[in-house]
Amino acid sequence: MTTMLPVSPGQTLPPEGRTAGHRRRFATRDRFTRGAATGLGAAVLLLVTWWWAAGDGVQDLASWPAGLVSLGRLAGLVASALLLGQVVLMARVPVIERAFGQDRLARIHRTVGFSSFTVMLAHIVLIVWGYAGGSLPDLPGMTWTISVTYPGMLLAAAGTMCLFMVVGTSIRAARRRLRYESWHLLHLYAYLGVGLAFPHQLWTGQEFTASPGRTFFWWTAWAMTLATVIVFRLGVPLAQNLRHRIAVTHVVPEGPGIVSIHMTGRRLDRLPALAGQFLTWRFLGRPGWTRGNPYSLSAAPDGRSLRITVQGVGDGSTSLAALESGTRVLFEGPHGRLTARVRTRPRVLLIGAGAGLAPIRALAEGLAYAPGDATLIERYTSVPLFREELDDLARDRGLHVLRSRGSRRGRASWLGAELAPHHRHRADHHVLAEWVPDLADRDVYVCGPPAWADLVGGDLRRLGLPDGQLHVETFEW
């Protein structure tokens, strides 16, 4: 018999966290989804490569100009497949997000994005070079000729410029110079870039029209990709906002520059949000309301209200402190895999820093655990967040709270400098091993800045924690 573990008063435990059997089934489903998605991507790349080879692609390599064009065709096929995959990764398909998690999906998205752009540039250079007879001096003239005389090429050139802008602003050095809202708006131009490339593929793509089967494949791939965008980026958010009609009830200061925004709405028990997840929020009636920002739930959803906690780090987030009661809210989500869904053990360790404590605090409330089976480590610089709430959870549910205060002890440390005297000169992983001696028997949830989270993860692995029990989410855009 499986025993129901305690939850907060008034809370209903979601199916993902009710029993070990539920969690095993969801874990199996997620593994299947990851394997199917990876296999499908590999199969598409193999298919278009086979089509290239079957269309005399290999034989054409015997000639220099024809070989350049042939390699350019292959690069175009691969780039098209990767670009479509990139759009699907951006479409926020729930089954994919749940299976991979935001951090892993972001890494895949970045890798596929840069790869597709690089292969697309290779396609352009190789095709133009081959049409120029393999002569470098003739490249500029041939580029102009192709651009103005071939069907769809001007649109494809405009799409390429859009993708240039997206990739350029995705480089870390450039991202640091942009506000999140500006970067996010520019990033949406990837949709326009991919869309503008479609007429070129339709009108001049040899592999698109070489046979009815290939034509059917590409039309189906484009149609399904467009459908994911329409359904999950437009349709689902519209339906959810019409159903729930979320509005602000009140704003509560939590510390210097930090506020909690409390919201309510209709039928929130039907909103599939879990403790540990985040949503993208737009608060109406204020400048810049069209730009969405991702904020995590800082309290476990109870079917009646929602709460996020925001640190003012820019114009948009700072202005949220002035929100008035009744302000309408638009949202997208929920997103994220830092939930009970990934849990494998009865005991848990929760580690959060700064704004990353918001989902950790929600998990401390929403997860099921017996008294003494959950430990929370909070890393903060001056004022701890949710002190009274965490103390209440410690008293009412047996949560063990450890606080690490002060600036980091060094670049290689994730703990605060203000430690007990006998810990001050010990390595972080030794301190952690003393604080949580049964670490290998726990699931560990970590949320914080990327560099800090990497240090935490490194120490956890050094202490023998299996990767399957480590669940990390960072909050760098």
Q: From 464, 351, 465, 474, select the one nearest 416 (Cα to Cα).
A: 351
Rg (CA), the chain: 26
Q: Is 10 contained in some domain?
A: no
- Between CA 455 and CA 348 the distance in angstroms is 19
Neighbours of 77 (CB within 10 A): 27
Q: Are residues 222 and 313 in the same domain?
A: no
Q: Are residues 200 and 251 in the same domain?
A: no
Structure token digits, residue 26: 């969801």
Q: Are residues 294 and 375 in the same domain?
A: no
Q: Is 5 contained in some domain?
A: no
Structure token digits, residue 463: 């202490």
The answer to whether the predicted template modeling score (pTM) of the entire model surpasses 0.75 is yes
Q: Are residues 306 and 351 in the same domain?
A: no
Q: Is 416 contained in some domain?
A: yes
Q: Are residues 312 and 374 in the same domain?
A: no
Mean pLDDT in order along the chain per 10 residues (477 residues): 43 51 76 92 93 86 89 89 86 86 81 86 87 84 77 67 66 57 60 65 64 85 90 94 96 88 95 93 84 90 94 72 93 90 92 90 95 93 86 95 85 82 81 94 93 93 93 77
- Between CA 85 and CA 113 the distance in angstroms is 9
**CA separation (Å) from 367 to 172, 246, 346?**
35, 25, 10
- Between CA 127 and CA 146 the distance in angstroms is 10
- State the pLDDT at residue 5: 46
DSSP class of 265: -
- Between CA 420 and CA 238 the distance in angstroms is 52
Q: Are residues 186 and 324 in the same domain?
A: no
Q: Are residues 286 and 366 in the same domain?
A: no
354 in Cβ contact with 380 (< 8 Å): yes
- Between CA 127 and CA 69 the distance in angstroms is 5
Give the residue from 206, 221, 240 where a domain finishes.
240
- Which amino acid, one-letter code, is at 171? I
339: Cβ contacts below 8 Å, ≥ 6 apart:
16, 17, 274, 275, 276, 277, 363
Give the residue from 335, 365, 398 where a domain finishes.
335
Structure token digits, residue 277: 């997840």
Pairing of β 400-408 and β 374-380: parallel
30 in Cβ contact with 38 (< 8 Å): no
Q: Are residues 378 and 401 in the same domain?
A: yes
Q: Are residues 439 and 322 in the same domain?
A: no
Question: 3 — alpha (psi -120 to 50), left (phi > 0) or beta?
Answer: beta
Q: Are residues 228 and 249 in the same domain?
A: no
DSSP states of 393-460: HHHHH--EEEEEEEEESSTT--SEEE--GGGTTS-HHHHHHHH-TTGGGEEEEEEE-HHHHHHHHHHH
Give the residue from 284, 316, 335 where a domain finishes.
335
Q: Is 9 contained in some domain?
A: no
Q: Are residues 82 and 219 in the same domain?
A: yes
Structure token digits, residue 447: 């949320």
Residue 365's CATH number = 3.40.50.80
Q: Is 6 contained in some domain?
A: no
Q: Which domain holds residue 279?
A: 245-335
Q: Are residues 201 and 57 in the same domain?
A: yes
- State the pLDDT at residue 211: 78
- State the pLDDT at residue 22: 66
Neighbours of 370 (CB within 10 A): 13
Q: Is 7 contained in some domain?
A: no
What is the longest distance spanned by two Cα atoms in the chain? 78
Q: Indicate the number of domains in the chain.
A: 3
Q: From 407, 387, 391, select the one nearest 399 (Cα to Cα).
A: 391
Q: Is 4 contained in some domain?
A: no
φ, ψ for residue 244, nearest 5 deg: -95, -25
173 in Cβ contact with 156 (< 8 Å): no
**CA separation (Å) from 289 to 7, 94, 319, 468?**
36, 25, 11, 39
Residue 293's CATH number = 2.40.30.10
Q: Is 195 contained in some domain?
A: yes
3-state SS class at 465 = coil
The 3-state secondary structure of 354-390 reads: HHHHHHHHHHHHHCCCCCCCEEEEEEECCCCCCHHHH
* Contacts by residues 125-128 (CB-CB < 8 Å, ≥ 24 positions apart): 125/72, 126/68, 126/69, 126/71, 126/72, 126/75, 127/68, 127/69, 127/72, 127/73, 127/76
- State the pLDDT at residue 268: 95
215 in Cβ contact with 322 (< 8 Å): no
336 in Cβ contact with 473 (< 8 Å): yes
3-state SS class at 264 = strand
Cis peptide before 334 (omega within 30 of 0): yes
